[in-house]
Amino acid sequence: MSATEQMRAMLDQLMGTARDGAEGKRNRYHFSDPRVCKSFLLACCPHDILASTRMDIGECAKVHELALRADFENASSHKDYGYELDVMYNTRVGGDLVKYYSI
């Protein structure tokens, strides 16, 4: 990977995929796409959190891209998408699993 490509990837990661407005270079996913992991957008995907532990549940089947997280953070400052509710549900289920397996 050339230095230019590395810088482009870093800028996409920090500023989102539509930072320069180029249609051809836009990401093929939008953060609201059902294939994108909503927990990852909020930095709490259980697949990432439980990685390398006894309760490892494997790799997440949904898309994890830092540029999409940046897009979501920019958009969520203007509108509430309700993804926090999904995360609260996952947290509750995760807590129940911990209680079940710790007995």
pLDDT given at position 97:
63
Tokens encoding 102: 């710790």
pLDDT of residue 80: 77
Question: DSSP class of residue 84?
Answer: H
Neighbouring residues of 47: CB distance < 8 A, sequence distance ≥ 6? 37, 57, 58, 59, 60
The number of domains in the chain is 1
60-69 pLDDT per residue, tens:
999 998 888 8
For all residues of the chain together, what is the average pLDDT?
Answer: 78
Could you read off the pLDDT of 29-77 as tens digits, one per residue? Answer: 888 899 999 889 988 888 888 888 887 888 999 999 888 888 888 888 7
Question: Are 18 and 67 contacting, i.e. CB atoms less than 8 angstroms apart?
Answer: no
What is the chain's Cα-based Rg?
Answer: 16
pTM above 0.75, yes or no: no
63: which DSSP letter? B
- Look at phi and psi of residue 25 and say left if phi exceeds 0, alpha if psi is from -120 to 50, else beta: alpha
